[in-house]
Structure 1
Amino acid sequence: MNWIKPLTIVEFVFIGIFLLVYAAYFIRLYLVARRLGTTARSIIIKFFIRAVYLGLCILGLLGPSFGVNEIEAQATGKDVFFVFDLSRSMDAIDIEPTRIERVKFELTKNLSLLKSDRVGLIVFASEAFVHTPLTFDRDALRLFIQKLNTNLFSVSGTDLNSALQLILQKYQNPVTRRKAKVVILVTDGEDFGELDSKIIFELKKNKVNLLVLGVGTPQGGAIKEGDGYKKDNEGNEVLTKLNAGYLKNLSKSFGGKYFQLTNQVNEVSSLLKEVANLESNWIDTRKMTVANNKYHYFVLLALILMFVDVLVTVRTIKI
């Protein structure tokens, strides 16, 4: 027989209190019985009955287990990649303080909405790389998100194809192929160029769920650069605008949804709730052997003895 819980100071205290109280009770009634010239045998019977059912209750609390059952445990989950656009346009100030800083703040604040999923970061501009592998560690993920900035790439540009190709490689991995696959594209949608139709086809074939977070405004804003703003060859400030129409069509082509982040509209929490609501795929089934907790036998026997205790009366004193 095994025990789920060990004897603790609580059980020892209850046993000690019972013995002290019952010893005082027994001595008192024994002295009264001697004065009246009667027997106190029923007190001894009650003592043993009460000691036994107290012991049975304590044993029930300790969780006695014997015998085993074999059960199947199924695991489900999703693999979620945030794909961050870190091109220079994400430094635009049409969202305060900048597009990239605002989206970092909102994501770290709401990241707890992704409860049991593995989450990773892919960043892209002129090229793409995995910034953070898939992980369950939300604190580490928040730290990596907070460190994101457009200076991670020395060459400017926006090549979404490189990011999609990297996503395809990660989701074709045998370890992740049975999991639900979710991509959250965080971008302003500017200067993507023509996307590779073969990559799009393979992503759809692998049942990748694409959700898009458009960051910026249609009116646009200047791009922070040092102490001033980015200028073109003619000395004019460069204005970058959110390409919402392009992003909506992109998400629609995957059967996904489009969300937006501006100074007036904040759909980050809605985006993460949508991820949480997506169906999780079966990952693995494992057989586990667990011990049977038989506490109810001890508790049932203790209840029977309590009923017997009520029926046995002490007749040393008659009222």
Structure 2
Amino acid sequence: MFRFGEPIYLYLLIVLPVLVILYLYSNYRRRKKIRQYGSPELLMHLMPDVSKYRPDVKFWLVFSALAMVIFMLARPQFGSKMETVKRQGVETVVALDISNSMLAEDVTPSRLEKSKKLISRLVETFNNDKVAMIVFAGEAFTQLPITSDYISAKMFLETITPSLISTQGTDIRGAIDLAMKSFTPNEGVGRAIVLITDGENHEGGAVEAAQEAAKKGVRVFVLGVGSPDGSPIPTGNGSEFRRDKDGNVIVTKLNEQMCQEIAKAGNGMYVRVDNTNNAERALNAEINKLAKADVETQIFTEFDEQFHVLAWIALILLAVDLMILERRNPLFKNVKLFKQD
């Protein structure tokens, strides 16, 4: 397994394209000034010792050396030993509603974006726990199988949009059924389904599915996103909103009654998500109450540092740069491999 021990230093790579832009701009300004004095071809004959290509070569050598130093600071490592370890944790499956109604902006910046931020912060609080992600609208599918890889979980979270599912609707029962299949077979571990939706259930059977989950020891927590007063759904084209077949603006409302019924049937808790962090804190408190069992996980416990390889490459590049002169080497200025007739 490959990883960076200090990945935060990789942000320094942003400097590299800036340096390239500045260098190209500097060359452009230099050529422009040369043209003010006369023909570049004539001036080249008047300055036979000036090299056309060596400054570029020296720049790219230093550029490459700097890139190696940045990667070196990030501490590249290869996993050399894998062990099976036991950790105490719980298993949580997050089921996120991505139907078009979740684009409503009665919660800032929108129901969907607020939900994604909440999930991201929830994952950051996990320690030795496992998480899976399911997205649903008119149907449900697994976005991320259950894992302890929180970095991947947050990466997958960023890719979630309503366009992932073409079938519109809100199949909460399908999401709960799929979530029940996502848990590991480990015994004694606390399990929870976190259902994030605006409660506009169009398929039915959600309460019954939550009851079945509770019978198997899985608690169903429901986070209701939105306002009971409702909000129009933006189309993404300026100030336009979605309309029904009669041309009326569609107003989507948070169905708190439905959310509460599902949470009660699932032996869980209902929390309304607003523009505060109250829902996040309440959910964290409830998940921390779940029984934590020993879960076996295979992880790399030893990593070999690889920065010294990059250090040698950087030193060689800088050494070559020092040996290359800006001007043509006077010892070889009269050597011409190709002569014109």
**Contact kept in structure 2, 1:114 and 1:275, CA below 8 Å:** no
- Helix, strand or coil for the counterpart of 1:214? strand
**Contact kept in structure 2, 1:113 and 1:273, CA below 8 Å:** no
Partners of 1:186 and 1:158 lie apart in 2 by 11
Out of 205, 212, 216, which is 1:195 matched to? 205
**1:216 matches 2:226:** yes
Residue 272 (structure 1) aligns with: 284
Q: Which amino acid aligns with 2:232?
A: A
Out of 83, 87, 93, which is 1:81 matched to? 93
Out of 253, 275, 287, which is 1:263 matched to? 275
**Contact kept in structure 2, 1:83 and 1:186, CA below 8 Å:** yes
Residue 158 (structure 1) aligns with: 170
Q: Measured at CA, do residues 251 and 107 of structure 1 come closer, stay the same or move farther in structure 2, by a change above 3 Å?
A: same
Q: Measured at CA, do residues 90 and 262 of structure 1 come closer, stay the same or move farther in structure 2, by a change above 3 Å?
A: same
CA distances 1:196-221 after superposition (whole Å, capped 9, x unpaired): 67644432231111111111011111
Cα RMSD, aligned residues only: 2.3
- Helix, strand or coil for the counterpart of 1:170? coil
Residue 168 (structure 1) aligns with: 180
CA distances 1:227-256 after superposition (whole Å, capped 9, x unpaired): 121101111110001111211121111221
TM-score (norm 2): 0.57
Partners of 1:78 and 1:210 lie apart in 2 by 14
Out of 117, 136, 145, which is 1:124 matched to? 136
How far did residue 89 of structure 1 move?
A: 0.7
Partners of 2:86 and 2:230 lie apart in 1 by 48
CA distances 1:34-74 after superposition (whole Å, capped 9, x unpaired): xxxxxxxxxxxxxxxxxxxxxxxxxxxxxxxxxxxxxxx96
Q: Which amino acid aligns with 2:158?
A: Q
Partners of 1:114 and 1:265 lie apart in 2 by 17
**Contact kept in structure 1, 2:233 and 2:252, CA below 8 Å:** yes
Q: Which amino acid aligns with 1:279?
A: A
The structure having more radius of gyration, on CA atoms, is 1
- Helix, strand or coil for the counterpart of 1:229? coil
Partners of 1:163 and 1:157 lie apart in 2 by 12
Q: Which amino acid aligns with 1:267?
A: A
**Contact kept in structure 2, 1:86 and 1:125, CA below 8 Å:** yes
Residue 149 (structure 1) aligns with: 161
Q: Which has the higher contact order (CA 8 A, sep 6+)?
A: 1
Partners of 1:198 and 1:105 lie apart in 2 by 29
Q: Measured at CA, do residues 151 and 136 of structure 1 come closer, stay the same or move farther in structure 2, by a change above 3 Å?
A: same
Residue 18 (structure 1) aligns with: none
**1:204 matches 2:214:** yes
Out of 227, 239, 246, which is 2:251 matched to? 239
Note the residue ranges of structure 1 that are not aligned, 5 or more in a row.
1-72, 285-319
Residue 191 (structure 2) aligns with: 181
How far did residue 126 of structure 1 move?
A: 1.1
Q: Measured at CA, do residues 261 and 157 of structure 1 come closer, stay the same or move farther in structure 2, by a change above 3 Å?
A: same
The 10-residue stretch of structure 1 (81-90 or 162-171) with the greater mean CA deviation from structure 2: 162-171
Partners of 1:202 and 1:110 lie apart in 2 by 25
**1:134 matches 2:146:** yes
Q: Which amino acid aligns with 2:274?
A: T
Partners of 2:93 and 2:221 lie apart in 1 by 10
**Contact kept in structure 2, 1:178 and 1:283, CA below 8 Å:** no
CA distances 1:15-36 after superposition (whole Å, capped 9, x unpaired): xxxxxxxxxxxxxxxxxxxxxx
Note the residue ranges of structure 2 that are not aligned, 5 or more in a row.
1-84, 297-341
The 10-residue stretch of structure 1 (199-208 or 216-225) with the greater mean CA deviation from structure 2: 199-208
- Helix, strand or coil for the counterpart of 1:256? coil
Partners of 2:270 and 2:98 lie apart in 1 by 19
Number of residues of Structure 1 aligned to a counterpart in Structure 2: 211
How far did residue 134 of structure 1 move?
A: 1.2
How far did residue 106 of structure 1 move?
A: 2.8
**Contact kept in structure 2, 1:105 and 1:146, CA below 8 Å:** no
